[in-house]
Structure 1
Amino acid sequence: MFGGLVAAPINSPHLRKSGGRAIVSHLADELGNGVEDGHLHPIEVNGLKSASTPMVTVAIAPSPMLLWRFKVLLFLLWAFICSKIGWHSVMRMSVDLRDLFLYEAFLYYNPLLLVTTMVWLWGINLWVFSQSNVNYAKIFDLDQNHLTHREIWKDFNMFDIRVAKCATWMTIIVPTSMTAYLYLYSHGEVLLAASQPVLLYFAVVMILIFPFDIFYFSSRYYLLRTLWRIVLPLQAISFSDFFLADILTSMAKVFSDLERSVCRMVHRQVATIAWFEADSVCGSHSIAIPLVLVLPYLFRFFQCLRQYKDSGERSTLLNALKYSTAVPVIFLSALKYHVLPDSWINFYRPLWLLSSVLNSLYSFYWDVTRDWDLSGFTSIFKFNKSQLCSHLLHGRIWVYIWVIGSNLILRCTWTYKLSAHLRHNYLTVFTIGALEIFRRFQWIFFRVENEWNKMNSRSNIQPSLNDPTNEEVKLLASDGHNV
């Protein structure tokens, strides 16, 4: 029993000397054939046992699966409580006041809910890029300190990572504030209800501009710096500049609602229905609505002009023309509130419809042929390149048909969001806004892949310029040199 070979793990930390050499190996060197024969002296065995069995206190921690289930249970419980409180709060109101109040509530919380959705989908984009050979950090010129997909989005089935991340907190805080707003207003606490969106917006702004190295300071600085470059394109436009500007065009309605929300907060009209009147400063007929809607398109328009100045490529002018087609859609729609009904029906509405069709088709064409570089629907059925989408979707042509078809449909429905005279049903507006963000989510995959392929092609061409030509090889060979 005590004369057999002692089985001990070689890599055990308790069986190592300070130099890192295993004690069993050391004993084998000293005892020679004794270990090979399978026999050790009883004193040596007892000493080895005493050395290999220290008193260690093992901390008992719950399993990751148990923690995951507990977090999911807490999230479902929180969602149930918020839904129940919100539903009962809305049902307490009168029927005449209910629709107006819900419209106002969505005015404050619709922008942040859509931004939260965009953050989640952007996290999925980054996760897919990280699983492929697309180096998105190189494309966007990011350093190692910026947010990765593990910090933006949490895949509960594949990753065991920290819980408190950006999208998770946004998902919890925004609906909680909205529930408190509904509850307080329905119970007569109008002042406390009015303070909820004000506190939420103030907290978001303070976190975004917080000057200290917490809350992902480098990423916040990168975002603010890029936004500044978009607003004032005084230097060469990088890929991240116009990429973010393209995303901002899909969130034009978000900025419009933000303007109306801030206007109501400044004029102390929160938790009132006076804003719905046509002559209200922050009402639905305000001239500021089309002005804010057109800003992202103007930013992108001036970016294209700056690119043309730097590169001289005529395609940038055609791209600028695409963004300019959104301007008539926005302002012709806003004219409904400032012209006579007969003039609107007979003259301005046909022009609005024509400009809407032109903007939708032009944008769709540019998405497919330029941003995605699918070459007029011909290369989508060819999988001769090791691209991201072609690799993931190899043999699944229906996915490309879905992406192209849905992009065309959602490009047309996006006109609904740019038209101020159609934005009275808040549920429809929110749904179309979410669908536009989903369209942009699909667009990002192909756009980033196209940019990555261009970077690879440029890097492959550059070394070839340094290679000797055939004539140079012949001349070197005739001189007796070995190439």
Structure 2
Amino acid sequence: MILLSPFDMFYLSSRFYFLRTVWRIILPLQAITFPDFFLADIFTSMSKVFSDLERSVCRMVNRQVATIAWFEADSICGSHSVAIPLVLMLPYLWRLFQCLRQYKDTKEKTCLLNALKYSTAIPVIFLSALKYHVHPDQWVGFYRPLWLISSVVNSLYSFYWDIKRDWDLSILTRIFMFKNPSIWTYLLYGQNWVLYWVLGSNLVLRCTWTYKLSAHLRHNYLTVFTIAALEILRRWQWVFFRVENEWNKMTAKQNMEMSSDMPSEGDRLLDSSNHTV
């Protein structure tokens, strides 16, 4: 209610900006800006949260709170509901459509490759949900291997994109010099182990995140809670390096524009107005 309050209190301008960005994410009909895809990326980490919210609203609407139906998988709001995978897919579909919109505006092929990354999450969610709608033998013999393969593809592709595109691997390769460490190591982070930790933890947590995207594994609440808490850490790390990379790009672009506007040494020497004859 505070978020939707029209009164000039609790940072009205910030709340309005947030709601406007959410609206732009849901309907990417305009050019995609950094806040649009930045918040949409964070929403992909909240897919399980959105699914749980949908489950809670469903149970309240259907009066299944504190009833035996809460534990029945076949109930309207049970674990077999098709709404679970649909809600889990939403953040990835939003981000997918953003990438397609970016490709329409820029014609850069990397936008299509980024869209492909988000599309790899859809088979993970869909195949997991099929467990409740196919024969157990079919699940074990055919669909579960497909789910495992799609999970590996999604995890590795996402990890690669994090370090190559979102964090700019070209900088990291200059830092990872064992005998001759780059000056970036000390100016940016101080210690090499920080980046080793970020890369290693990001790879592991990218793989474990698949657990939360899988509806048939959501019954182990302690494991799901632990992975959700670790995802907060992973996403914080991602945000830190992603914002820094964007800042570096903006700074480099500004420096290039400033250098192009400044006359070269030869131009200054040839400019007669700068000399007295």
What is aligned with 1:243? Answer: 38
Q: Give how far 1:308 is off.
A: 1.1
C-alpha distance in structure 1 between counterparts of 2:134 and 2:144, whole Å: 11
SS of residue matched to 1:215: coil
- Deviation at residue 268 of structure 1 after TM alignment: 1.4
Tell me the SS of whatever aligns to 1:269: coil
Whole-angstrom CA distance in 2 between matches of 1:456 and 1:390 = 19
Aligned to 2:26: 231
Question: Structure 1 residue 384 and structure 2 residue 176: aligned?
Answer: no
Deviation at 1:399, TM superposition (A): 1.3
Cα deviations by residue, 1:347-386 (Å, 9 ceiling, x for unpaired): 101100000000000000000111011238512335434x
User: Match for 2:168 among 355, 373, 379?
Assistant: 373
- 1:357 and 2:152 correspond: yes
Distance 2:160 2:121 in 1: 15
Letter in 1 for 2:183: N
**Structure 1 residues 297-352: Cα deviation after superposition (integer angstroms, max 9, x where no partner):** 00000111111111121111111110000000000000000000111111101100
RMSD: 1.6
2:4 pairs with 1:209: yes
Report the 3-state secondary structure (helix = DSSP H, G, I; strand = E; otherwise coil) of the residue aligned with 2:6: coil
Q: How does 1:110-125 map to 2 (within 5 A)?
A: none
Question: Which structure: larger Rg?
Answer: 1
Structure 2 counterpart of 1:279, from 56, 74, 78: 74
Where does structure 1 lack aligned partners over 5 or more consecutive residues?
1-205
SS in 2 for 1:468: coil
Q: Cα offset for 1:276?
A: 2.3
Aligned residue in 2 for 1:159? none
Q: Which runs of 5+ in 2 are unaligned?
A: none
Q: How many residues matched? A: 271
- 1:475–1:392 CA distance, 2 compared to 1 (3 A): closer
> Percentage identity across aligned positions?
73
User: How far apart are 1:412 and its partner, in Å?
Assistant: 0.3
Alignment of 1:53-72 (within 5 A): none
Q: Matched residues in 2 for 1:475 and 1:249: separation?
A: 57
Aligned partner of 2:131 in structure 1 is 336
CA apart distance, 1:392: 5.2
Counterpart among 296, 307, 316 of residue 91 in structure 2:
296
Paired position in structure 1 for 2:225: 430
Letter of the 1:460 counterpart: N
**TM-score normalised by length of structure 2:** 0.93
Partner Cα distance (2:186, 2:226) in 1: 30
1:395-410 equivalences in 2 (<5 Å): 396-410=191-205
State the structure with bigger RCO (CA 8 A, min sep 6), 1 or 2: 2
Following TM superposition, where does structure 1 have runs of at least 4 consecutive aligned residues deviating by more than 6 angstroms?
A: none
Distance 1:285 1:334 in 2: 8
In structure 2, the residue matched to 1:440 is: 235
